Amino acid sequence: MSTQTELQQTIQDMVDSHRGILAADESSPTIAKRFKAINLESTEEHRRAYRSLILSTPGLGEFVSGVILFEETLQQVSDDGISLPQLCVQQGIVPGIKVDKGKIPMPNAAGDEITQGLDGLALRLEKYKAQGARFAKWRNVYHISDTTPSAVAITANAEVLARYAAICQSMGIVPIVEPEVLIDGDHSLKRCSEVSELVFHALFHALHQHHVVLEHIILKPNMMISGKLYPQKATPEEVAEDTIRVLRRTVPAAVPSINFLSGGQTPEEATANLNAINCLGQQPWQLSFSYGRALQEPALKAWQGKSANAQQTQSALYKRARLNSAARTGQYMSSMESE
């Protein structure tokens, strides 16, 4: 099978009108924080047990087309001895892998950060592919303040994301490209939209320069949202209008799917905002979700590290996936939360 055929097949298996992506790729420090919230130590066995449990949720493949895994998870097996990537496949879900090595301060750009991990990426992708991964994910972040993100940070981060995407496609791996304008801060919705437009424009310029095939990527951006500390929270309708305006100005129609990150929103907010976006009518791309905490938080609370809570855990995840699927067609209503 040619590389282009591989890429197209993965896109076909992941992009449709009703499903989204589950981000289960929390790094070791991040999952430790999640477990701490339920008073559970983050051991390898606890991580394996939890991820095995959520990936074996009956019917998850109805609403989830892909799962982003952490490197450790690719090598783990379920309680039944099935590899976790294979567990995804059995559900009709495409397994993928987070490949960046985290963010560090950017030299000579106070307050800005850059993501590392390009060195040796092709060799790592070869190994991950042999373990079952068919797509990858890489995240770069942009801080909003009076002085950030700087022009040099916007350009440098776009270049990193484009190089990552080009390497992935050369290996037959579909890249999820994640430019995240962070919700941290006291900035307005307007400021978030202005920064995001600059970031997305620079990103697609870099992708073009690196000959990345846009039909074979998935974009994972932030929605247009006011900062957490801004006194007036934007309504779902305001979020939707600004988000679509920015995307239509910056994202070519060749991109098959835009799968939003939840980025600090509550599960209910992330679903309501996705619903409002899809209520604005048909757009050039699928508008879907790639949520981590906004899908998993209720499941983690239900689990509490106890095998006796397995059914409640899976039910909580299934419900959130179902509600986000409804939001994909603008059919979510807040009353569905109590069903």
3-class secondary structure, 58 = coil
Q: How far apart are CA 55 and CA 245, in angstroms?
A: 35
Tokens of 20: 């989204």
Side chain identity, residue 85: P
Contact 217, 177 (CB under 8 A): yes
Q: How far apart are CA 74 and CA 85, in angstroms?
A: 6
72 is catalytic: no
Q: How far apart are CA 248 and CA 214, in angstroms?
A: 15
Residue with tokens 């109590």, as numbered in its chain: 338
List the catalytic residue out of 26, 113, 159, 178. 178
190 is catalytic: no
Beta strand pairing call for 94-98 and 103-105: unpaired
Beta strand pairing call for 103-105 and 174-181: unpaired
Tally helices (H) and strands (E) across the chain.
12, 10
- Compute CA distances 319 → 4, 59, 209, whole Å: 35, 11, 42
- 182-206 burial, b if ≥16 CB within 10 A, otherwise e? bbebebbbebbbbbbbbbbbbbbeb
DSSP character string of 283-326:
-SSEEEEEESHHHHHHHHHHHTT-GGGHHHHHHHHHHHHHHHHH
- Compute CA distances 268 → 21, 25, 127, 265, 271, whole Å: 17, 21, 37, 8, 5
List the catalytic residue out of 220, 241, 297, 319. 220
Contact 257, 297 (CB under 8 A): no
Which residues carry out catalysis?
178, 220
